[in-house]
């Protein structure tokens, strides 16, 4: 619908204008009154007032539309949606509505487990046979396809008392502070694991280097495990990791000598030596995740 275009023409029906007529209806001319040809001043005044009222309503409606559009825009910006497009693609205000950005941060990396295990000042978790070589006597330890039964365990600050031959002197010379032992059995084979604890990794490394083939730990019997390696030939291993030197002695519970062909005895000693290494490393891992780097 257009207004004021194309010059004067026939009056169209306007629902806002009193006395306007629907299309094709015949309306009396406001200029004539009773057929006298003079203007009907009352009708003209009424029509003028109606048009003024209509303009006010239209203007109010436009203002309401602007307010409503502004409200919608505010909601969109608050929710972080896309900014509304402006008419003509220019001249509109824009706002940044993305998620607040922050400078990237990261927690300090944990200490390396081996770094913790290298120094008694960092390696401070409780240490005993129950924490390092857990399990009750009579309990089972599964390593791969092999199942071992745990026997007795022991702890002493007198490291030399839990060692034989040349090992006591080596332990004392390098400042061993504690010896932890536990025995495991499987199919007539018994293995005692011994863990010597030092203050630093340097001390443990020195002890390993000074230990010879005669440096062995004392086999631990009791709680269902008969004495073994008492006068019989047994197989031994030694190694170190962090501030720990760990040893094994493997023999037959029946007193038979271990020979190079006794794969069962060799496998048992190797499996439990590796298990001991894993337990020491796990101790370092647990502490590394609990304490950030300083």
Shared domain for 70 and 192, answered yes or no, is: no
Residue 165: which CATH number?
Answer: 3.40.1000
Shared domain for 162 and 268, answered yes or no, is: yes
Please report, to the nearest 10 degrees, the dihedral formed by the alpha carbons of residues 29, 32, 35, 38 taken in order.
-160
Q: How far is CA 57 from CA 45, 60, 100, in A?
A: 19, 5, 44
Shared domain for 226 and 123, answered yes or no, is: yes
106 is a domain residue: no
Burial zone of 83 (CB within 10 Å; 0-12 exposed, 13-18 middle, 19+ buried): middle
Residue span of the structural domain in which 171 resides: 113-290
The CA-based angle 21-24-28, given to 5 degrees, is 50
Share the mean pLDDT of the chain: 78
Domain count along the chain: 2
254 is a domain residue: yes
Give the pair of three-digit tokens for residue 176.
Answer: 């061993």
**pLDDT above 90 for 52:** no
Shared domain for 144 and 211, answered yes or no, is: yes
pLDDT at 232: 94
pLDDT: which is higher, 19 or 113: 113
| Closest C-alpha among 242, 154, 155, 156 to residue 199 | 242
pLDDT at 107: 63
pLDDT at 104: 61
pLDDT: which is higher, 35 or 276: 276
104 is a domain residue: no
Give the pair of three-digit tokens for residue 129.
Answer: 């046979």
Q: Which residues of 143-171 are buried (b: 16+ CB within 10 A; e: fewer)?
A: beebebbbbbbbbeeebbebbbeebbebb
**pLDDT above 70 for 179:** yes
133 is a domain residue: yes
Shared domain for 145 and 273, answered yes or no, is: yes
**Domain end point (choices 63, 84, 105):** 84
What pLDDT, in 10s, does the model give residues 224-274? Answer: 999 999 999 999 999 999 999 999 999 999 999 999 999 999 999 999 999
């Amino acid at each position: 619908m257009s207004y004021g275009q194309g010059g004067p023409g026939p009056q169209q029906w306007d629902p806002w204008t009193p006395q306007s007529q629907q299309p094709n209806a015949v309306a009396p001319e406001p200029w004539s009154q009773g057929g006298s040809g003079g203007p009907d001043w009352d009708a003209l005044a009424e029509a003028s007032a109606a048009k003024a009222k209509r303009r006010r309503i239209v203007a109010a409606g436009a203002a309401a539309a602007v307010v409503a559009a502004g409200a919608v825009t505010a909601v969109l910006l608050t929710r972080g949606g896309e900014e509304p497009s402006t008419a003509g693609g220019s001249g509109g205000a824009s706002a940044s509505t993305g998620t607040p950005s922050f400078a990237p941060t990261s927690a300090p990396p944990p200490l390396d487990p081996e770094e913790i295990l290298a120094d008694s000042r960092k390696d401070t978790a409780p240490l005993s046979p129950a924490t390092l070589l857990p399990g009750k006597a009579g309990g089972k330890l599964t390593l791969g396809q092999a199942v071992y039964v745990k026997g007795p365990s022991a702890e002493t600050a007198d490291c030399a008392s839990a060692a034989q031959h040349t090992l006591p002197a080596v332990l004392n010379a390098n400042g061993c502070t504690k010896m932890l032992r536990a025995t495991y059995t499987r199919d007539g084979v018994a293995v005692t694991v011994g863990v010597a604890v030092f203050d630093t990794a340097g001390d443990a490394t020195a002890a390993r280097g000074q230990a010879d083939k005669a440096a062995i730990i004392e086999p631990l019997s009791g709680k269902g495990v008969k004495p073994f390696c008492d006068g019989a030939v047994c197989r031994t291993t030694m190694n170190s990791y962090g501030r720990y030197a760990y040893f094994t002695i493997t023999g037959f519970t029946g007193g038979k000598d271990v020979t190079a062909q006794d794969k069962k005895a060799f496998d048992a000693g190797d499996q439990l030596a590796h298990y001991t290494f894993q337990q020491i490393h796990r101790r370092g891992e647990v502490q590394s995740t609990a304490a950030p780097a300083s």
